[in-house]
Amino acid sequence: LGVVPMVRDLQVQEEDGMSLERERLHASKGQLTAAVIRLPRISNFDDFDPLVRAGVSVRYVQDPAEVRSAHIVLIPGTKHTIADLRWMKSRGLDTAIRDAAHHGVTVIGICGGYQMLGTKLDDPDGADGGEPDHEEGLGLLPISTIFRDEKVTRRVRFRVTTPNTKFALRGNTVGTGYEIHTGETTVSRQGEASPMLEIDRGDGVPVADGTVSATGNVAGCYVHGLFDAPNVLEPLLRTVAEHNGIEPPQVKPFSMDAEYDRLADVVRSSLDMDAVYRMINVRR
């Protein structure tokens, strides 16, 4: 049928866990660094690809010392939130993350990472890990999560609602993303935080999602793909860089659709597509 060649610098989404070693970059002097906690059951880590494309030194870390030296700390999604939270505690990463937050470092959790930032996680029916369970969270956001059997999977549109803070989100910034999680998260102490986003799940009824701490440097939400929006990523990186006396990274236009089109063009030009279509019984 033909041979598909290596496509250099192709920036399509990776399979889970396949390419994390490639992302273990080492920061150079004067470069903005982000430490992504390398959870054992990490998922959806392509959330942070836009930071790599912008020139941020993104490191996937398991050492508390690497957390303390980063300008941004990111807690990703996970296939088993409570188990990975306990793993973090066993390595002292929980203490390192809290110390970083208390020293003004920007800490952001997405999905399971967002749940970990709260005060407690309850799993009465074993929806997260198979058996009823409970664990105290990092306590950096006044939220609590209870896991349910139903898994949420849907695309959403979001609008930033939080005022300008150290997190540097611009109010009324809009974008698209998706939810894929179990668990319902609620704010347990009103007045100590503000909603981060307003999301539309396709029914035209906006609902609040995510939380920003009163200090403004700790935030989290359920929306994957948040950083794909340049008007979310650019002010975040610029604010953190300026706070640390570093030249801000440049967020350039990027289209994932264009990358997949480029791959499709290479495949189409390399294979006998008429034969492929005959094999799968598709008429052109």
DSSP 8-state secondary structure symbol assigned to residue 44: -
**DSSP bridge pairs for 73:** 35, 107
Question: 74 pLDDT exceeds 80?
Answer: yes
Query: Out of 72-86, 135-149, 207-221, 247-261, which region has the weakest mean confidence (pLDDT)?
Result: 247-261
> How do 33-37 and 72-75 pair as beta strands?
parallel
Of 163 and 217, the structure prediction assigns the larger pLDDT to: 217
Tell me, what's the pLDDT at 270? 97
Mean pLDDT of the chain: 88
Question: 142 pLDDT exceeds 90?
Answer: yes
Tell me, what's the pLDDT at 25? 43
Helix (H/G/I), strand (E/B), else coil: 80: coil
Q: Give pLDDT tens digits for 107-124.
A: 999 999 999 999 999 999
Length of the chain: 284
Tell me, what's the pLDDT at 166? 58
Instruction: List the catalytic residues.
Output: 111, 224
CA distance linking residue 208 with residue 199, whole number of Å: 6
Helix (H/G/I), strand (E/B), else coil: 84: helix
Tell me, what's the pLDDT at 27? 43
Query: Out of 84-93, 183-192, 197-206, 243-252, which region has the weakest mean confidence (pLDDT)?
Result: 183-192
Tell me, what's the pLDDT at 107? 96
**DSSP bridge pairs for 271:** 2
Q: Phi and psi for 163 in degrees, rounded to 5?
A: -70, 170
Question: 82 pLDDT exceeds 90?
Answer: yes
* Cβ contact 99:133 at 8 Å: no
Which pTM value belongs to this model?
0.85
CA-to-CA dists, residue 164 to 6, 214, 239, 251, 269, angstroms: 44, 12, 11, 19, 49
